[in-house]
Amino acid sequence: MRLTSGNVADSIADNTTFSITRRDLSSISPDLFFEKYQKMGIPVIITGLKVDDWNLDYLCEKLGQQEFLFRYYGQERYQQDKRTWQNIGSGVPLKTMSFNEYAKLLYSHEAHEKDIYLAKCSLKNIKLVDNNSLTSIGEQIGLTKAIGNLNLWVAPGGHLECLHYDTLDGTLIQMHGAKKVLLFPPSQTYNLYPFSVFVHLLRGLELRAWFSTVYPENPDFVAFPKLKRALEHKQEIVLEPGEMLYIPMGWWHEVTALGNDMVCSVNQFWGVYPTSRAIFSWCRWRVIFSNMLAIPYLLVKFAIAFLSQRRQQQIKQIFYRF
């Protein structure tokens, strides 16, 4: 079995003239989407979605006193060498609060100053809209095997979600505000200097081997000389409200919330088809191996949480990091 860093997409995306296209939802049939994008593992922006504007007033009305786990990133984080980080993504410090409390922090700009983020919030039991209508957008273009639930992401303007990749196909629907997305094909994995899989032995899932240690928009070519090659294949798009970005498995992406106001998106993960695209992807096997290495650390964490007086809250936070 020959594993590759990516898939057929690499031979296309490695062409420096390649650019991600926009297609209106009405112009894409499931067959066309499969042959031109899903089968090849090529990103595309789908436009013309009929979605509501999920502004802050709307979210407060619908979510109000419901409590969620919020990530506290802190602005100083992005001044640090990522190689010194002790946590990343869902591994950062967490705090529980109601959505109304978070809205006050957004209005006062404290959420901007402390970079407080509502991430990976399952919409399964949240009545924002008919969630089936959002899932059906993916199904209209032939994405039929949804993995997990729709997730809500709410950020202050300026928030940056660092460069990483996923092991499933994903769709990102913009509901309010705009996001800038940088993308790199899977072939550039080792030119983007990912964290070692062995960080999981000491940090469990608080650090992730599928995150990059570089800042693509503030490159350090002395520390990361191969980054120059990766930047030759960088794609940059702006996702506007009513648009959906299809991100195939293994594609590196860094997402920035634009403007000063609240920015809101919904994402969904999907099964990878054809399955050969997943089976022969080294990016995917890196994650599987990393998760296996994290097991001893997680078992210790569960044991400590079980003996804690704050057992329920600590166990909830451990599961959140998955």
Kindly state the greatest CA–CA separation across the chain.
58
* Res 2: pLDDT: 47
Q: What is the pLDDT of residues 192-218, one digit of tens each?
A: 999 999 999 999 988 999 999 999 999
Q: What is the pLDDT of residues 302-318, one digit of tens each?
A: 888 787 777 777 777 76
* Res 225: pLDDT: 98
Q: Are 260 and 144 in contact (CB under 8 A)?
A: no
Ranges of each domain in the chain: 9-296
Average pLDDT estimate for 95-106: 96
Q: What is the pLDDT of residues 229-272, one digit of tens each?
A: 999 999 999 999 999 999 999 999 999 999 999 999 999 999 99
* Res 3: pLDDT: 58
Q: What is the pLDDT of residues 163-182, one digit of tens each?
A: 999 999 999 999 999 999 99
Report phi then psi at 129, rounded to 5: -150, -175
Q: Where residue 135 falls among pLDDT bands split at 50, 70, 90?
A: confident
Burial of residue 80 (number of CB atoms within 10 Å: 0-12, 13-18, 19+): exposed
Please give the Cα distance from 7 to 310 (Å, whole number).
Answer: 45
Q: Where residue 4 falls among pLDDT bands split at 50, 70, 90?
A: low
**Alpha helix (H) residue ranges in the chain:** 9-13, 30-33, 56-63, 99-108, 110-114, 131-140, 199-203, 227-231, 276-279, 282-307, 311-320
* Class (C level, CATH) for 9-296: mainly beta
What whole-number percentage of the chain has pLDDT above 90? 73
Q: Is the pLDDT of residue 52 over 80?
A: yes
* Res 63: pLDDT: 94
pTM (global) more than 0.85: yes
The helix-helix angle for 311-320 and 282-307 (nearest 10°) equals 180
